[in-house]
Structure 1
Amino acid sequence: MFERIVRAIRLDKSLYREVADLPALTSEGALVAVGVALISSLGMLGAGPRALFAYLAQVANSLLFGWILWSLVAYFVGTQFFKGRSNVEEMLRVLGYANAPRLLGVLGFIPCVGWLFSVTGWVLSVIAGVIAIREAMEFETSDAIVTALVSFVLYIIASITIGLVFAGLSLPFHLLTSL
């Protein structure tokens, strides 16, 4: 598994074809997605008095929207608009591995430059997602780019919406503790 994670971070296209073709790697892809969510969100633990809540919210956001929603939307867009040949389980597998570059986010704690590691991880994850979608759907790179970007934009919208909802829900507790 470690070797496949390294290949995913290196954007090795043969890895995504291999993962797409091996249903036995579904649980491993899920494990990669969960591990990435747990590890890349560690920087949230230094986020002040509500650090644990911020960490758990970030992990949930990463899993629910950054992996599952991205996989579902990519499957829908790829199969319905570009006639891709894949299924939901295959998309979960390959996009689980495509999250691996986000492991760079663990270096987000480094003063002044830590954010660069997080951003680089996200960018590489989107690129890995394009490769993963292309290999799983078996269509052109341009179709994979559109599929990945539409899916990723929906992830961002969902993430912001959830963030605003949680911020709104925490407001009464913040007001009570400031009295």
Structure 2
Amino acid sequence: MMLDLGTAIALIRDTLLLRPGTTELLRLGGGALRLAFYVLLAAGLSEAVGESVVLFVNRVSPRRFAISLLISALIFAFGYLFFALSVYLLARYALRIEVPFSFVAGMVALGQAPRLFGYLSFIPYLGLPISVLLWIWSVVATIVGVAEGLSLAPLEALLTVALGALILVSAQRTVGRPLIALARLARKQAAGVPLVTNRHQWLELIDSAPEPGLAEPRARTRRRPGGKAGGAA
């Protein structure tokens, strides 16, 4: 089923407002599921833009800047798909709920709609609080979706999402380490330069490149009688 623009906007709006009924369209598959995954990718891209200060400071070229943002968005999306797999396994084998993985993945993906505003974390001083607020908002949206989609009580949905996140973190610290290392390598290769992430090193990097018009003036020379140049006395 294809979604028209009005329905797509309404679905995202209802997710942001934590309204019930968003999972009904996901059950039908098709356009609603595609929209959920588009939201996930767009949220990852927005988050990458919000964290792109690292790329600016490291003077990454525009082409590599765009590639780095795309890779970060894909890594973000894959991370949440693995989280969706954790929730699906819990629903299937712990709660004995028969649901297709695509439906669970769609719920988790759509729950990241608040992070479409992730680019706001680029704002100086307010970036970190905004990022934390968006993360909490997306967690609540995911819990609301899981509760409705799996017919769970709010506490059961909270525990399911929390256990799913715990499984994901455990996997990242064990069998997922090679994948994390590969993701870091991909980011470095995309940037094309060694990325400096330490704040003190940022200041040194910024200070090492004087702005146009602020470069130190060259020592002036003047002609001495006889045609020889010399510095000012």
After TM superposition, list the pairs within 5 Å mapping 1:53-92 onto structure 2: 55-66=69-80, 68-92=81-105
1:144 aligned residue: 157
2:15 aligned residue: 8
- Matched residues in 2 for 1:124 and 1:89: separation? 23
Residues 12-64 of structure 1 deviation map (CA, whole Å, 9 limit, x = unaligned): 12223x23432121111111111111122212322132583753453122110
- Matched residues in 1 for 2:51 and 2:69: separation? 5
Q: Give the SS at the match of 1:111.
A: coil
Matched to 1:70, the amino acid is F
**Are the aligned partners of 2:43 and 2:116 in contact in 1 as well (CA < 8 Å)?**
yes
- Matched residues in 2 for 1:115 and 1:125: separation? 15
2:28 aligned residue: 22
Structure 2 alignment gaps of length 5 or more = 1-7, 196-233
Deviates more, 1:23-32 or 1:156-165: 156-165
Matched to 2:38, the amino acid is L
**Are the aligned partners of 1:84 and 1:138 in contact in 2 as well (CA < 8 Å)?**
no
- Considering fraction of residues, name the structure with more helix: 1
**Are the aligned partners of 2:121 and 2:128 in contact in 1 as well (CA < 8 Å)?**
yes
Structure 1 alignment gaps of length 5 or more = none
- Matched residues in 2 for 1:89 and 1:166: separation? 24
TM-score with structure 2 length normalisation?
Answer: 0.64
- Matched residues in 1 for 2:157 and 2:194: separation? 43
Identity of aligned residues (%): 18
Higher normalized contact order (CA 8 Å, seq sep 6+, divided by chain length) = 1
- Matched residues in 2 for 1:29 and 1:174: separation? 34
- Matched residues in 1 for 2:76 and 2:117: separation? 14
Q: Please provide the CA RMSD for this pair.
A: 2.8
**Are the aligned partners of 2:44 and 2:77 in contact in 1 as well (CA < 8 Å)?**
yes
2:115 aligned residue: 102
Residues 1:156 and 1:123: Cα distance change in structure 2 (over 3 Å): farther
Whether 1:33 and 2:40 are equivalent positions in the alignment is: yes
Residues 1:63 and 1:44: Cα distance change in structure 2 (over 3 Å): same
**Are the aligned partners of 2:46 and 2:117 in contact in 1 as well (CA < 8 Å)?**
no
Q: How many angstroms does 1:110 deviate by?
A: 0.8
Deviates more, 1:55-64 or 1:113-122: 55-64
- Matched residues in 1 for 2:183 and 2:83: separation? 21
**Are the aligned partners of 1:75 and 1:91 in contact in 2 as well (CA < 8 Å)?**
yes
- Matched residues in 2 for 1:155 and 1:9: separation? 24
Matched to 1:35, the amino acid is A
